[in-house]
Amino acid sequence: MGKGKKDSMNKLLVFVTLFLGVVVVMFSFGELETILRTLQSAHLGFFLLALLIQIGWFISSGRMYQSIFHLLGIHEDVLTLSRIAAAANFINVVAPTAGAGGVALFAAEAKRRGHPAGKATVAAALFLLLDLAAFLIILSLGLIVLVRRNDLDAGEISASLILFTTAAGFTSVLYIGYRSAEKLGNILAKLARGINKVVHLFRKENYLSEERAHEFAHELADGFSGLTEQPSSLIRPVLWGLFEKGLLMLILVCSFLAFEVSFSAGTIIAGFAIAYLFLIVSPTPSGIGIVEGIMPVALSSLNVNWSQGVVITLLYRAVTFWVPLGIGAWAFRTLHKERAEVVE
């Protein structure tokens, strides 16, 4: 592909991504109007505190990535990684691909900065896995709270099983890639072949490339070959992941305080765990519409008044979804601008 054509494709990709971001906002405009009305009745101080904590969350995400990059022998400053993480989060929201879009962005940015793309791919994949591992710890605590209060229902059990199964499958894929690129390549190629057979019922072209499956497996293996420390060192990024989840729970605390609603530690842990669970397993980007419906129900089962649960949810989502979406759009745009300046 020629340089001019490649630049045009990159510009088109950026335009489409930002356009999808606008579409997400437009389709959720009613929710935004409700959030703005809700904020008028909230205590401004706790709302501002929640925003500060959210900024801390961005930095802690960068620190988690930094600790994983360090294990692979890559050194990058935390603010740069925080910005890339924000942009990756934006891509994963507006173009949901189970995290693949964010992984691709990290690989591209690593290559631009002179780092091996394979290592960056492994780092981004490990981030997804270890971040999930950190949440599963919180989810386990939340489920214990719900069991003790006899509030655990079939939907929450099913969603939890889906998440634990997904984590187990993801771990298996990374472990096989760590041990043997050939085995992982064969497994991914068979998976691609099976998906293509289903797709062929509707169209003739292949949806997934078996050749690309083998290439990805070797990229993963090459990335793992750069692991400079023992696997036990992965505990550190998990701790950063737990710290991230702790910050999100503090934002939920601020949401309760903003409307002068009493709470217990169990209410915060269980309410956050269920909301974040359905954010992950939801078919909509970052649980748009799903979390807003599930979270008040979860809080209500934890003895929070329904109307209070609704406004708490709206404030919490304003800070943890809409603010990151806006910052992520800015980060994505600035990263693209930097790439364009380098090309010129």
Domain count, the chain: 1
Q: Provide the residue range defining the domain that includes 153.
A: 3-343
8 Å CB contact between 316 and 295: yes
Three-state DSSP at 6 gives helix
Backbone angles phi, psi at 74, to 5 degrees: -110, 130
- The string over 286-297, giving b where at least 16 C-beta atoms fall within 10 Å of a residue's C-beta and e elsewhere, is bbbebbbebbbe
Q: Tell me the one-letter amino acid at 136.
A: L
8 Å CB contact between 140 and 157: no
The pTM of the full predicted model, rounded to 2 decimals, is 0.79
For residue range 258-297, what is the model confidence (pLDDT) as tens digits?
Answer: 999 999 999 999 999 999 998 888 777 777 878 888 888 8
What is d(CA 129, CA 98) in angstroms, rounded to the nearest whole number? 12
How much is the CA Rg of the chain, to the nearest whole Å? 21
How many CB atoms lie under 10 A from the CB of residue 75? 9
For residue range 10-46, what is the model confidence (pLDDT) as tens digits?
Answer: 444 444 444 444 444 444 445 556 656 666 777 889 9
What is d(CA 297, CA 182) in angstroms, rounded to the nearest whole number? 47
Which H or E run contains 161? helix 154-179
Which residue from 53, 50, 27 is spatially nearest to 38, judged by alpha carbons?
Answer: 50
In the prediction, which pLDDT does 103 show? Answer: 77
Which H or E run contains 74? none
Percent of the residues in the chain that have a pLDDT greater than 90, as a whole number: 26
For residue range 89-106, what is the model confidence (pLDDT) as tens digits?
Answer: 888 877 666 566 777 788
Residue with tokens 């939890």: 160
